[in-house]
Structure 1
Amino acid sequence: MKATNTLRFVLAAMMLIAMAIWQFVPRTSHEILISDAVAAPIDGDPGAIGVFLKLTNTGGPDRLVGASSEVAATTRIEGPMPTLAVPSASTPSLSADGAFLYLSDIKGDLDDGRTLPVTLKFEKAGDITTRARLVAPKTKGAAASFGLFGIGDICQVGEGEPAPKIALRVNQTAQGWEVGVISSDFEFTPDLVDGPHVPGTGHGHLYLDGLKLQRLYAPSASLGVLPAGSYEIRVTLNTNDHRAYVLDDVPVTATARLTVD
């Protein structure tokens, strides 16, 4: 009997110690919110739509590994990579000028205002379902012809106009990564965003393996923590009306690679 009581006491003590340790061990949450989801038919591709939306990651690093929709024959991530890393504490977007969701052979009419169910699959956060509202069709634009992401448009630098150039500097920090943009013949003009084009002015777009992380209104940006892997950071220079600068048929863009162990 005494041995039994002693064993019970030891087990109870071990459970209390384990609970105390669990309370003080740092834990990483994985919570991703989806907002502003829209779907647009793609001109020249009957029955296909692109889905564009905003992600808000309030937890640790995660990865978008796929998507599905009950109204589409196929659903895939349209971009240079089949999966997309989502940094911690970030607000990236699936966008027309970056990676987005491509749905084909949609059931039913593609009427304006219709909502379509879409489920995004994350490595840590799991499956998250949203509804994307159909809006006006999007044209494929000229971006893809110049090796750029997405289905956006471009701005050819005219003769006699400033000829922007760009390079990147990437450093690891305690909170993640710092991206520095070194540019010439270009001015960041946040006060002119959404306004008319002024040669040699505008902002940048920052991408991680094609996922649009943010706009750059200054020559530096911070990224959160990333899952383990090798990644391409890309920055494009864009006009105030969000077209990508192209100089002599070459996009004004720069890339850098980083590896997370």
Structure 2
Amino acid sequence: MHTQKRTILLATALLSAAWLSGCGTKEKLTPQQQGNTPTAPALSPQGQNKPSLEMKVEVNRDKATITFHTENFHLSPEHYSGMHVPGEGHIHLFVDGSPSRISVKENVYVLQSLSKGKHKIEATLHTNNHQPYDVKDELEFEIK
């Protein structure tokens, strides 16, 4: 019985850790976690075209409207944190090298109240269950 309790406690701890490691609106990451190396073999099935990502930005005063264009990839807010489905997921957006990420689930995202000066954004594609696709785009712009 003692071994069974220990097994249940260990299983509960592992499930809790897995649940807590999902993506949120803004999350802290260590530099090692920001890598874009796929960690799930399901990310590159044979015969499937690799997803691509391109950002465009439109600046208006202290706002930057970012438009994300993807190919072979579908943003799926309805499946966010769900099971992996090849070719769908969400975007992680990093602003000015911050370790905090913004989870983007739509094709347009607006950054507001930006300070004057140059800014750099980086976006990476991720699966529904938060695994990286090894696809990213970077862009620089200026708030005048």
User: TM-score when scaled to structure 2?
Assistant: 0.69
Matched, 1:188 2:80: no
Matched, 1:217 2:105: yes
Paired amino acid for 2:86: P
Structure 2 CA distance for aligned equivalents of residues 219 and 166 of structure 1: 11
Which of 63, 71, 86 in structure 2 is aligned with 1:176? 63
Distance 1:186 1:174, change over 3 A: same
Structure 2 CA distance for aligned equivalents of residues 197 and 145 of structure 1: 17
- The equivalent residue for 1:128 is none
How far residue 216 of structure 1 moved from its aligned partner, in angstroms, is: 1.2
How far residue 95 of structure 1 moved from its aligned partner, in angstroms, is: 1.5
Once the two structures are superposed, what CA deviation does each residue of 1:42-73 show, in whole Å capped at 9, x if it has no partner? xxxxxxxxxxxxxxxxxxxxxxxxxxxxxxxx
- The equivalent residue for 2:15 is none
After superposition, where does 1:57-68 map in structure 2 within 5 Å? Answer: none
Which of 35, 46, 49 in structure 2 is aligned with 1:144? 35
- The equivalent residue for 1:256 is 139
* SS in structure 2 at match of 1:158: coil
How far residue 210 of structure 1 moved from its aligned partner, in angstroms, is: 2.8
Once the two structures are superposed, what CA deviation does each residue of 1:6-50 show, in whole Å capped at 9, x if it has no partner? xxxxxxxxxxxxxxxxxxxxxxxxxxxxxxxxxxxxxxxxxxxxx
Matched, 1:235 2:123: yes
Structure 2 CA distance for aligned equivalents of residues 204 and 213 of structure 1: 9
Structure 2 CA distance for aligned equivalents of residues 220 and 145 of structure 1: 22
How far residue 159 of structure 1 moved from its aligned partner, in angstroms, is: 2.0
- Which structure's residues are more often helix, by fraction? 2
- The equivalent residue for 1:244 is 132
Structure 2 CA distance for aligned equivalents of residues 243 and 194 of structure 1: 10
Paired amino acid for 2:143: V
- The equivalent residue for 1:207 is 94
Paired amino acid for 2:138: T
Q: Which has the larger radius of gyration?
A: 1
How far residue 94 of structure 1 moved from its aligned partner, in angstroms, is: 4.7
Is the Cα–Cα contact under 8 Å of residues 36 and 133 in structure 2 kept in the other structure? Answer: no
Which has the higher relative contact order, 1 or 2, with Cα contacts under 8 A spaced 6 or more apart? 2
* SS in structure 2 at match of 1:191: helix
- The equivalent residue for 1:70 is none
User: TM-score when scaled to structure 1?
Assistant: 0.40
- The equivalent residue for 2:53 is 166
What RMSD in Å do the two structures reach over aligned CA positions? 2.4
Paired amino acid for 1:165: S
Distance 1:180 1:145, change over 3 A: closer
- The equivalent residue for 1:95 is 28
Structure 1 CA distance for aligned equivalents of residues 36 and 137 of structure 2: 17
Structure 1 CA distance for aligned equivalents of residues 141 and 39 of structure 2: 27
Once the two structures are superposed, what CA deviation does each residue of 1:130-184 show, in whole Å capped at 9, x if it has no partner? xxxxxxxxxx56x5375xxxxxx74442322241011110001256110000110
Distance 1:244 1:93, change over 3 A: same
After superposition, where does 1:115-134 map in structure 2 within 5 Å? Answer: none
